[in-house]
Amino acid sequence: MCGIWALFGSDECLSVHVTSAMRIAHRGPDAFRFENVNGFTNCCFGFHRLAVVDQLHGMQPLRINKFPFLWLCYNGEIYNHLALNKKFGFKPQMAVDGEVLLHLYDRFGIKKMAALLDGVFAFILLDTEKKKVFVGRDTYGVKPLFKLSTDDGFLALCSEAKGLTEITHAMTSPASIEQMEEFHCCTDGPEHAVCDSLGTLPSGFDEDTVKSNIRTLFENAVKKRLMAQRRIGCLLSGGLDSSLVAATLMKLAKEETAADSPDILAARKVAAYIGSEHHEVNFSAEEGIRAVEEVIFHLETYDITTVLSTGLNLQQTVIHQASQALNCCTDEEHGRGSQVEAEAERLLLVATERREALKAELERLTRDPTGQKKPLSAPGPSGPSASKGSVTLQELRLPLKADFVCSIANKPEATKHSFFLMLRAGVENTVATPLASTHRGLSGDTLSFPTSFTISDVSSDFEIDVEVYSLVQRRDVCNDKKKKASKSKVNLHFNFNGVCDTEACFNA
């Protein structure tokens, strides 16, 4: 998903309002842009991008040389953009799917433009020649869009209501934030069917014809959603609908991707049957309750079914970390046994460890509602209290045993060892270093890590835990295939006592 935001007719400095657009930054982690409209100082677009199609040229607001008077911000996917370009002879400048809206609007006008679109979308289209703003959503309202308007012509738009709640404007009557209604309906059949690749389906109500038509339509519905230029995954509940989608996805895309399951037994059976790579995210009742507030914040609804169907924020975190890892291994060169696979393993390890640390802290707080940790030692005799300051660890070095260094030097291609450190000072202060490989990063018998770790506002007693992780990648001599990396961990614990300087550095 992406986040779109726009203001038209503002009577205040736009630099004040754009902070509201940052409240939907979670919708577009890849890039963001704010842009004033030329010649219209009281108009502005904001865009947070999740790059799905044309990652090089898809930044918004979207403009092309042929129509310099058109400005477009949209969120969603236009499934039939290639078919529309072919049918009407459009010559797009980019591969991005949304460009077809500009060509359709110029040739047919806004109503037919929207009716010809097959997809899920919300758009804001500005025509500076006609001085008009057009706003629309897909037929079934899959993509959200909210508006704030006043009686003097001021208009603010955003993918989520939270991006509008802090906007101020002088007005004679109160303004309200409303969700946009559907832009057009399909009572007489969708106009975009004229360029549907399916053609005319067989007519009749006999059982074989009905079954065949349902299968054809269902497979086409899944197929047209595979237009993304990034790895595709699906959420699997083990029920009939999600199981059919997952099975059809595997059949069409032949991509093994991570799935997510609240109904563990049913999802395992389906995943085993269709041959997908299955990952389970389990969480306790306490963890679920802790995540509810943030889930409702992002969904902007208290509807019980909708909140539960998201799988809660815990699944979102794991999916994000897993997608980062999966994106590291997309071909044979960067697959099993490679340095990139080791980085993928590191990402998943860090995500898992942080989650376990948060879970342990939640259990501690449950046992001790006051949230107070026990003192590390009995208080000493009264005296001048030590001042608080910050502590920084830098120039981190990991010494290795001499016999180990000699063994890997004698067989450099047989086994690759990678290490990283995780430093903790409580749950809130956790840092993981980058990977350091013995293949390239070894200096004598020591590995160095450039990471700097700082904890602030500490007194004379503080603790730092250093965990050393080792990822081992071995080559199978018999068939020359790389094996999956094995993992190990060593815990080190440091307890510092004494007066803490304002800035202290330690070598580990």
- 197 is written with which tokens? 């690749």
- 74 is written with which tokens? 């949209």
Q: Could you tell me whether strands 503-506 and 389-393 are parallel, antiparallel, or unpaired per DSSP bridges? A: parallel
Q: What DSSP state is assigned to residue 475?
A: B
Angle at 142 between CA 141 and CA 148, to 5 degrees: 55
Which residue is listed with tokens 């869009």?
A: 145
- 485 is written with which tokens? 């990396």
Which residue is listed with tokens 């004598």?
A: 444
Q: Could you tell me whether strands 62-64 and 67-78 are parallel, antiparallel, or unpaired per DSSP bridges? A: antiparallel
Nearest-angstrom CA–CA distance, 256 and 259: 9
Catalytic pick from 2, 44, 73, 500? 2
In this structure, the number of other CB atoms found within 10 A of the CB of residue 446 comes to 13
- 480 is written with which tokens? 């020359």
- CA-CA-CA-CA torsion for 331, 337, 341, 342, nearest 10 degrees? -160
Does residue 455 sit in helix, strand or coil? strand
Nearest-angstrom CA–CA distance, 119 and 181: 16
- Pick from 69, 66, 76: which is nearest to 98 by CA? 76
Peptide bond preceding 61 in cis form (omega within 30 of 0): yes
Q: What is the chain's length?
A: 508
> What does each C-alpha distance from 467 to 420, 470, 487 come to in angstroms?
8, 10, 13
Contacts of 15 (CB under 8 A, 6+ apart): none
Element at 4 (helix H, strand E): strand 3-8
Bridge partners of residue 505, in order along the sequence = 392
Nearest-angstrom CA–CA distance, 9 and 153: 7
Number of separate helices (H) and strands (E) present in the chain: 12, 21
- 60 is written with which tokens? 């918004």
Contacts of 256 (CB under 8 A, 6+ apart): 250, 275, 276, 277
Nearest-angstrom CA–CA distance, 507 and 482: 35
43 is annotated as an active-site residue: no
Residue 13's identity, in one-letter code, is C
Which residue spans within 79-225 are E strands per DSSP?
A: 119-127, 132-137, 146-149, 155-158, 177-179
Nearest-angstrom CA–CA distance, 272 and 259: 12
426 CB-contact burial (10 Å; exposed 0-12 / middle 13-18 / buried 19+):
middle
Catalytic annotation, residues: 2
